[in-house]
Structure 1
Amino acid sequence: SSPSSHLKVSCNSLSPPLFKTLSDIQSSGVIACLRAPSAELAIGAARAAITGGIKVLEVVRSTPGVFEVLRELVEEHPTMSLGVGTILNAEDAKHAIKVGAKFLMSPAMIKGSEVLYIPGVMTPSEILSAHNTGAKIVKIYPVSALGGVEYISALKKPFPHIPMVASQGVQIGLVGEYI
């Protein structure tokens, strides 16, 4: 299978911005997740990651000044797929979109987003529910606690048509097995 076989999805019904973000995720195979103790460290780490070749970057909501961090990164890299993770409510989703987020990730289901929304799911029922309510891609969370690569492989059997990304505890040496 190809390196991004878990991330194939038809993009025909998506708006151009959603199509670009989903295409960026599919082609990179990796969404870098950034959590930092300060805005300054977050910006520095993000710049280093981007310089190092990261194409899709998620800044976690718990990062101090996350929206200002995202705004600055969007100004520096307006065409890059930058997003906010661990969005727990509609207010944060709206704020993230306002400052330029191209995608939102959440451990919960937040409806009504005009950007690519990647809900966190754990069970087959949650995967199907998210897909049936319009999710174009789902985040399997917490993947390491659920069985890692083997769990994702098992989920792909009944859901080969639903793109999945692994989140939490993915070891660098296993990245290739996930993508």
Structure 2
Amino acid sequence: MDAPSFTAHLRRDRLVAIVRGRDAEASLRAVLALVEEGVGLVEVSLTTADAAGVIARAARELGGDAPVGAGTVVSRDDLLRARDAGARWFVTPALGPGFEAAAEQRLPVLAGAFTPTEALTATTRGATAVKLFPASLGGPAYLAALRDPFPDMPVVPVGGVDAAAAAAYLAAGALAVGVGGPLVADAAHGGDLTALRRRAREFLAVVGRAGEAS
């Protein structure tokens, strides 16, 4: 996947599901369940148990239909390990070595930033989009203010995004939203997959309505 393809996925799907689990098998089941429910972009955090193994198995299962991403990419080694496992796009918590390595290799990267300076630095140095993190500190009003000087900046708020916040961020101009706990909850630790599927449908309905309104 290249950067334009990743941007197209973000614009179309408007939702990035973030899986971070203590149980590798449960994390894999969560990834597959999310995709089965229609979530096109699923990020496996590298803090997940056997993250590289989960990414590799999910990539084999899903093929090109739902390209798997790797999150919490902090270092160059993180990036290389995730890429070699089969991750097709990458998410960083900050503008550190992981982001720099992705940008150098022209890999699709959602780069963590919060301030206007960080967001501008991310886009000028090769980020495909800005991961506004932690978005909960400023909320949709902060995103709207950030977009005043940067109206064309592709921004994906992450951190504390529940269904109501997702709708508000998208209304404020977010390209997509990244959702972890409010969507995945305990499913990646061995929790209820039926409840995960229900929440996935709820979030997909929210982002779908936001897309129709925009």
CA distance in 2, matches of 1:83, 1:166: 16
What's the counterpart of residue 127 of structure 2? 135
Shift of 1:77: 1.1
| Aligned structure 1 segments of 4 or more residues deviating by more than 6 angstroms | none
What's the counterpart of residue 144 of structure 1? 136
CA distance in 2, matches of 1:132, 1:46: 32
Higher percent of residues as helix: 2
Secondary structure at 1:20 match in 2: helix
Q: 1:178 aligns with which of 169, 174, 179?
A: 169
Do 1:34 and 1:46's aligned partners in 2 also have CA atoms closer than 8 Å? yes
Q: 1:104 aligns with which of 90, 107, 111?
A: 90
CA distance in 2, matches of 1:82, 1:21: 11
Secondary structure at 1:138 match in 2: strand
Counting only pairs closer than 5 Å after superposition, residues 1-179 of structure 1 correspond to structure 2 as 17-79=2-64, 80-109=66-95, 110-113=99-102, 114=105, 115-145=107-137, 147-179=138-170
CA distance in 2, matches of 1:94, 1:136: 18
Aligned length: 163
What's the counterpart of residue 182 of structure 2? none
Shift of 1:158: 0.7
Secondary structure at 1:119 match in 2: strand
CA distance in 1, matches of 2:3, 2:131: 17
Do 2:3 and 2:128's aligned partners in 1 also have CA atoms closer than 8 Å? no
Shift of 1:173: 2.0
Secondary structure at 1:111 match in 2: helix
Deviation string 1:84-134 (CA, Å, 9 cap, x unpaired) is 111110001011111111111111222132320111001001011111112
TM-score (norm 1): 0.87
CA distance in 1, matches of 2:34, 2:7: 20
Shift of 1:47: 1.2
Do 1:139 and 1:167's aligned partners in 2 also have CA atoms closer than 8 Å? yes
CA distance in 2, matches of 1:175, 1:108: 22
Q: In angstroms, what is the RMSD of aligned CA positions?
A: 1.2
Shift of 1:71: 0.5
Secondary structure at 2:100 match in 1: coil
Q: Which amino acid aligns with 1:131?
A: T
CA distance in 2, matches of 1:35, 1:69: 11
Secondary structure at 1:33 match in 2: strand
Structure 1: segments with no counterpart, 5+ residues: 1-15
Structure 2: segments with no counterpart, 5+ residues: 171-214
Identity %: 28
Q: Which amino acid aligns with 1:98?
A: D
Do 1:107 and 1:121's aligned partners in 2 also have CA atoms closer than 8 Å? yes
CA distance in 2, matches of 1:22, 1:167: 16
TM-score (norm 2): 0.73
